Amino acid sequence: MTAAAPTLRDDARTIGLIGLAHGTSHFFHMLLPPLFPLFIRDFGLSYSELGLLVSTFFVISGIGQALAGFLVDRVGARPVLFAALSCFVLAALAAASAQGYAGLMLAAALAGLGNSPFHPVDFTILNKRVSQPRLGHAFSVHGISGNLGWAAAPVFMAAITAATGSWRWAAGGAGLWALIVLATMLLNRHAIDDRSVSWPHAGAAKSAAGASAEHPLAFLRLPSVWLCFSFFFWSTCALSAVQSFAGPALGKLHDLPLAVTSFVVTGFMLCGAAGMVVGGFLAARGERLERTIGACLLGAALLLFLASLPALPGLLAAAVAALAGFGTGLAGPSRDMLIKRAAPPGATGRVYGTVYSGLDLGFALAAPAFGAILDSGSPSGVFVGASLALVGGVVSAALVGARVARARPAAAKMAA
């Protein structure tokens, strides 16, 4: 049925709930990594074994994300969201009760499985329930919540471990948090129901009816889908370089102490969150979104390149690297809006699931590549490589935007 236009209160509730869920998914990216030193102490594990836990998470998440989009389009996003949060509860319990490497591997696998459906789930609900004028802000909140989830997890895990003297209580606390979020979603299930209302944006419902007869895999023939996939891959390669190696690279390049370099990633994420706030307004007003994305990412690429210069003072290089997060944050909401425009009607979950699996692939492949660059004795190469990856993302976004612009006249003609 066709629902009345959502009110500001309705939109805010839906946006807030999805932001909470998305922040929780990013929180569970960091369920195990903050505890790695304690796993080495208690289980005698090597860094290679611990790295395999991270790879397991992202491989399962990446494969599952592409498949989850089909499930979301078939059964709806809300039940898949409930199942994903339940997987997080089980992952935390597996970690808390782990007696060795096998238990930690089970926790990583369950967390990756829980993480896999979040982007097709989140964007399907936002696109179907949030009014068009506030959709850019919805994407902005979605991105900010992810950054905050990344930032909160290490503090949460470290604080509970320090207070209780046991990392098992920290893992259990993460499970309790996931359970609270699941209960919140259940209590507010009407605000995240994507099946009881029609698509609120003009023309989409009509187009979706005409597209329903297409093969479920027909969207894979669209070049825009794979260009969006490549955009996520390149931009995530840059993010992985900063998250994993910006601190050590600055330490080697400028002889900065750990007390300084450890704040670079936090600064990058906080600047990214601030950029996303402003980016929501840009996405809501912009027509040629690829131009916004290109300008923001090129600015971030330039800042990362400047951070690679040995002649730059160390503290200034750290500040410049952190400030680059503002540019990537600015581009985030426009990026998500561009994917929405590129997605064929009725295939939103599948498209978001496929293109966001590029994020998991980027994380899985970039970390060892940039680690090898750092091991080779080229700390500046980490920042140069990250800036080049962002340029690759700009090229992909420009090609997607050009295809969307060419498709609009044809779509308008068909609608008439």
Architecture of domain 218-415: Up-down Bundle (1.20)
Give the whole-number percent of the chain exceeding pLDDT 90. Answer: 38
Note the pLDDT of residue 347. 61
| Secondary structure element (H or E) that encloses residue 102, with its range | helix 101-115
Cβ atoms of 55 and 364 within 8 Å: the answer is: yes
Q: Which numeric CATH code is attached to 8-194?
A: 1.20.1250.20
Regarding pTM above 0.75, the answer is: no
The Cα 246–Cα 243 span in angstroms is: 6
Instruction: Pick the range with the lowest mean pLDDT from 48-52, 181-185, 330-334, 338-342.
Output: 338-342
Angle, CA of 291, 23 and 71, to the nearest 5°? 80
DSSP 181-230: HHHHHHHTGGGG-SSSS---STTHHHHHHHHTTS-TTGGGG-HHHHHHHH
State the average pLDDT for the chain. 84
The Cα 32–Cα 161 span in angstroms is: 13
The Cα 11–Cα 5 span in angstroms is: 10
Domain boundaries, the chain: 8-194, 218-415
Note the pLDDT of residue 1. 45
Q: What is the pLDDT of residues 71-112, one digit of tens each?
A: 988 899 999 999 999 999 999 999 999 999 999 999 999 999
Which residue's structure tokens are 């922040």? 23
The Cα 362–Cα 232 span in angstroms is: 8
**Whether the domain at 8-194 and the domain at 218-415 fall into the same CATH topology:** yes
Which residue's structure tokens are 């998305």? 22
